[in-house]
């Protein structure tokens, strides 16, 4: 009888462990930090009436205090595999846990859970876990609020929306497209695509960017001879992809794209235009 009770306890303990692991894995999926994954956002600020698009991409990793951190949005971040807490790397020793970990969010939080933020000086609340439409399908989300500021994560897609408000100044970001594990969702093209002419060109062509050298903004003209999928990509001097400027279907015509390289160091870059029937690469130089 004692053996049977022990076996029953072990059985339920194993089931509970599997359930906990499943819950943590599901929570971690709300922010898929992985090299190569990329997100494109639109933004609007009432302060200067500014709007536009920008991208964030996991470009590198680093190890601090035995943990792997991923570069994202100007910070090194990680998701703890045991708690699904999101941490920022910090060299400050002011936090009560690790001098390297500054708390961001707890992706395992349930509705109305309160989370210590940063070094415990503030508290976020998981204010809702609603379904929201994203890329044509409803996704489970988690909204973490701190006063008038908030951040919304969508399962399997990461940060869907970020908003802040201070007095009459309001700022918001919306996810417009992303590349997760090599799969493209939504519109991953950046701001600055303008159709110059709808006249159908005889041939495909890619022009030299101008100005060149440039700092930090440059323009790229190209012509599309037939309807289809068009991709315009920027690579660094060693051939590493640094930016996808265009990734969508286009009608025939002449187009212009601008690239803002403010976030990149000086150096030689290459841009490549690809369609089903055409591919061409040109060189450009960023000097700061």
Structure confidence by residue, pLDDT tens digits, 182-232: 888 888 765 567 788 888 999 999 999 999 999 888 999 999 999 888 989
Query: Could you tell me the pTM of the whole model?
Result: 0.63
Which has the closest alpha carbon to 253: 206, 207, 196?
Answer: 196
| pLDDT on residue 98 | 57
Q: Tell me the pLDDT tens digit for each residue of 253-263.
A: 999 888 878 77
Question: Which residue(s) pair with 173 in the sheet?
Answer: 43, 162
Residue 105 phi/psi, 5° resolution? -145, 165
User: What are the pLDDT digits (tens) for 278-288?
Assistant: 999 999 999 98
DSSP track, the chain: -HHHHHHHHHHHHHHHHHHHHHHHHHHHTTS---TT-EEEEEEEETTTTEEEEEEEE---EEEETTEEEEEETTEEEEE-TTT-EEEEE-----SSS-SSEEEEEETTPPTT-EEEEBTTTEEEEEEE--EEEETTEEEEEEEEEETTEEEEEETTTEEEEEEEEETTEEEEEEEEEEEETTEEEE----S--EEEE-SPPSS-EEPPPBSSSBSSEEEEEEEE-SSEEEEEEEEETTS-EEEEEEEEEE-SEEEEEEEE-TTS-SEEEEEEEE-SS-EEEEEEEE--
Res 192: pLDDT: 64
pLDDT score, position 205: 96
Q: Is 256 exposed, middle or buried (0-12, 13-18, 19+ CB in 10 A)?
A: middle
Q: Looking at residue 71, what is its pLDDT?
A: 86
Residue with tokens 């994203």, as numbered in its chain: 134
| Four-residue CA torsion sign, 170, 175, 176, 178 | positive
- Exposed/middle/buried for 84, CB within 10 Å: 0-12, 13-18, 19+? buried
84 token code pair: 């699904």
As a whole number of angstroms, the distance between CA 231 and CA 254 comes to 15
pLDDT-flagged residues of the chain (< 50): 2, 5-20
pLDDT given for residue 238 in this prediction? 92
């Amino acid at each position: 009888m004692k053996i049977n009770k022990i076996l029953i306890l072990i059985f339920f303990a194993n089931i509970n462990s599997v359930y906990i692991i499943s819950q943590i894995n599901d929570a971690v999926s709300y922010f898929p930090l992985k090299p190569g994954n990329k997100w494109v956002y639109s933004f609007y600020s009432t302060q200067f009436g500014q709007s536009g698009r920008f991208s964030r991409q996991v470009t590198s990793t680093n190890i601090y205090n035995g943990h792997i951190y991923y570069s994202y949005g100007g910070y090194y971040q990680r998701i703890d595999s045991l708690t699904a807490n999101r941490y920022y790397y910090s060299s400050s020793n002011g936090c009560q846990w690790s001098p390297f970990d500054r708390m961001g969010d707890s992706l395992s939080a349930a509705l109305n859970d309160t989370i210590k933020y940063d070094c415990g000086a503030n508290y976020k609340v998981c204010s809702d876990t609603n379904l929201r439409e994203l890329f044509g399908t409803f996704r489970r989300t988690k909204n973490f609020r701190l006063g008038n500021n908030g951040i919304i994560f969508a399962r399997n897609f990461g940060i869907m929306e970020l908003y802040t408000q201070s007095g009459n100044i309001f700022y918001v970001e919306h996810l417009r497209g992303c590349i997760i594990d090599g799969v493209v969702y939504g519109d991953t093209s950046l701001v600055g695509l303008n159709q110059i002419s709808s006249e159908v060109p005889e041939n495909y062509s890619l022009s030299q960017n101008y100005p060149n050298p440039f700092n930090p903004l440059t323009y790229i003209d190209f012509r599309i001879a037939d309807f289809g999928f068009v991709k315009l990509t920027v690579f660094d001097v060693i051939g590493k992809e640094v930016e996808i400027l265009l990734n969508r279907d286009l009608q025939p015509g002449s187009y212009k794209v601008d690239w803002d390289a403010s976030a990149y160091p000086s150096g030689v870059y290459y841009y490549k235009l690809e369609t089903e029937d055409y591919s061409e690469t040109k060189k450009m130089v960023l000097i700061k």
